[in-house]
Amino acid sequence: MKKKDEGKVDKVIDKLSESFEDNRLSTKKTDLLSYSHDYWPISLHWMLEDKFPSIPNAVVWPEDKEEVKEVVRWCYKGRVPLYPYGGGSGVLGATVPEKGGIIIDLKRMRSLQVDDQDLLVEADSGLNGYYLEDSLNEEGYTMGNIPQSLYPSTVGGWVGTKATGQFSTKYGGIEEMLKGIEVVVPPGKILNFKPHPRTSTGPDLRKLFVGAEGTMGIMTKGWFKIWPYPERRIKLSYASERLEDAVESVRKVMRRGAEPAVVRIYDEMETKRHFYDHEDIYGKIATVIIIEGDEKIAEVEREIVEEEFIGEYKGEGPVDHWLETRFNVKEASEFVPMGVVFDTIEVAVNWSNAEELYERVIESIKPIKGVLFASAHASHFYPQGICFYFTFAGTPPRKKDAESFYQQVWSEAMKAVIGSGGTISHHHGVGRQRKDWLEDELGGGLKMLKDIKEKIDKRDIMNPGNLGL
The residues of the shown chain that bind another protein, judged by CB under 8 A, are 23, 28-31, 33-35, 39, 44, 47-48, 50, 52, 59, 61, 85, 87-89, 105, 107-108, 110, 126, 128-131, 134-135, 138, 149-152, 269, 272-273, 276-277, 279, 282, 327-330, 332-340, 369-370, 372-373, 393-395, 397
What crossing angle do the helices spanning 243-255 and 295-308 adopt, rounded to 10°?
A: 140
Minimal distance, residue 126 CB to another protein, in Å: 6
Q: Between 78 and 144, whose beta carbon lies closer to another protein?
A: 144
Minimal distance, residue 197 CB to another protein, in Å: 29
235: nearest Cα among 321, 123, 126 = 321
Q: Between 336 and 462, whose beta carbon lies closer to another protein?
A: 336
Minimal distance, residue 349 CB to another protein, in Å: 24
Q: Between 261 and 281, whose beta carbon lies closer to another protein?
A: 281
d(CA 13, CA 426): 37
**Strand duo 232-240 + 341-350: pairing:** unpaired
Minimal distance, residue 49 CB to another protein, in Å: 10
Q: Between 204 and 331, whose beta carbon lies closer to another protein?
A: 331
- Integer angstrom CA distances of residue 249 from 166, 308, 378: 19, 6, 13
Q: Between 94 and 449, whose beta carbon lies closer to another protein?
A: 94
Minimal distance, residue 299 CB to another protein, in Å: 31
Q: One-letter amino acid identity for 410?
A: W
Q: Between 342 and 382, whose beta carbon lies closer to another protein?
A: 342
Q: Between 74 and 405, whose beta carbon lies closer to another protein?
A: 405
Q: One-letter amino acid identity for 168?
A: S
Minimal distance, residue 29 CB to another protein, in Å: 6
Q: Between 35 and 437, whose beta carbon lies closer to another protein?
A: 35
Minimal distance, residue 394 CB to another protein, in Å: 6
Minimal distance, residue 270 CB to another protein, in Å: 8
Minimal distance, residue 52 CB to another protein, in Å: 8
Q: One-letter amino acid identity for 412?
A: E
**Strand duo 102-105 + 58-60: pairing:** parallel
Q: Between 104 and 354, whose beta carbon lies closer to another protein?
A: 104
